[in-house]
Amino acid sequence: MSKVLGYRRPYFDTQPAHLYPGYRSTIKRAPSKPLVPLPHTLSEVTGPLFGPADLGPNDHDLTAQHEDAPIGERIVVSGRVLDENSKPVANALIELWQANAAGRYRHDIDDHDAPLDPNFTGVGRVLTGADGAYRFLTIKPGAYPWRNHYNAWRPAHLHFSLFGLGLVQRLVTQMYFPHDPLLPYDPMYNSIPNEKARERLISQFDWERTIPDTALAYRFDIVLRGREDTPMETTRS
């Protein structure tokens, strides 16, 4: 019946390589054989969809998930999810997770000698609106050491996981903060060869979205893959 319109392939150098020895864990885990080119069929251009029923009441506000307020600097993190063709991605599920203000995750294997905060879980979820917009209220996470190499420190970051409309739009990434002096030392950030693409991961200070006397704000727009202009293959169903 219909033609399947595929998604555009990533541009050269804009995504990290699978093997990046500066990040030591890639050495035994990255594929060693060539990846097999995959045509975009119905299986790849469709994908799981989510709705308001998937969310809880305080999922967007990581400062309001416990009896008391968490310790740390309150921040608004907001932006829009667009595709490469500048089209808003509506109803995208965003999952966020992060360390607390002291640089410690509420996770059983995090043994960093920094305090946990009983009022901070560090997990949030939202759905984008019709215009692709989303907004979280949270705490600015701390930097933390991670033993990848001598005196290795991760710059402060938020983990983002996104589901678009099609499976091949799926993205897991990290958001960084502007002017972080740790960024030049971070193998994760520097695993992306193209400088302009790398800078997509740095949020911008966002004066207009600050909450007066309450919270500063950072803007983080996210760009997922967009559709091809012309159908790549035909299918019948």
Partner 1 sequence: MSLLTTPSQTVGPYLKIGFLRLVIDAIAPAGVPGERITIRGRMSDGEGAPINDGVLEIWQADAQGKYAHPEHGQKTIAANAFRGFGRILTDGGGAFRFTTIKPGPVAGPDGRQQAPHLVVTVFMRGMLRHLITRMYFPDEPLNDTDPVLQRVPVDRRGTLVATAGSERSILEWNVVSQGSTETVFFDF
Which residues in the 127-156 window bind partner 1 by CB under 8 A? none
Of the two residues 109 and 213, which places its CB atom closer to partner 1 in the complex?
109
Selected catalytic residue, list 40, 74, 157, 198: 157
CB of 161 to partner 1, least distance (A): 6
| 144: annotated active-site residue | yes
Ranges within 64-83 binding partner 1 (CB under 8 A): 82-83
Of 12, 36, 179, 230, the one binding partner 1 by CB under 8 A: 36
Write down the least CB distance from residue 43 to partner 1, Å.
5
Q: How far apart are CA 80 and CA 89, in angstroms?
A: 8
| Separation CA 60–CA 234 (nearest Å) | 41
Tell me whether residue 159 is one of the annotated catalytic residues: yes
Does residue 233 belong to the site contacting partner 1 (CB under 8 A)? yes
Q: Token digits for 51?
A: 């709705």
Binding span for partner 1 by CB under 8 A among 64-72, 90-98, 127-135, 177-185: 90-98
> Does 205 sit near partner 1 (CB under 8 A)?
no
Contact 17, 23 (CB under 8 A): no
> Cβ contacts of residue 210 below 8 Å, gap of 6+?
76, 216, 217
**Could you give the CA distance from residue 172 to residue 161 in angstroms, rounded to a whole number?**
4
At 170, which amino acid appears? R
219 binds partner 1 (CB under 8 A): no
Cα–Cα dist 10/26, whole Å: 21
Min CB(235)–partner 1 separation in Å: 4
Which residues sit opposite 74 in a β-bridge?
Answer: 139
The three-class DSSP label of residue 190 is helix
- Supply the minimum distance, in Å, between the C-beta of residue 152 and partner 1: 13
From candidates 21, 49, 118, 205, binder to partner 1 by CB under 8 A: 49
109 is an interface residue for partner 1 by CB under 8 A: yes
Of 206, 202, 226, 233, which Cα lies nearest the Cα of 217?
206
Size of the site for partner 1 (CB under 8 A): 85
18 versus 149: smaller Cβ distance to partner 1: 18
With CB under 8 A as the contact rule, the residue among 72, 122, 141, 164 that binds partner 1 is 122
**Which amino acid is present at 222?**
I
Contact in structure between 181 and 202 (CB atoms under 8 Å):
no
The answer to whether residue 157 is catalytic is: yes
Catalytic residue among 80, 104, 154, 225: 154
**Residue 118, phi-psi category: left (phi > 0), alpha (psi -120 to 50), beta (remainder):** alpha
Enumerate the active-site residues: 105, 144, 154, 157, 159
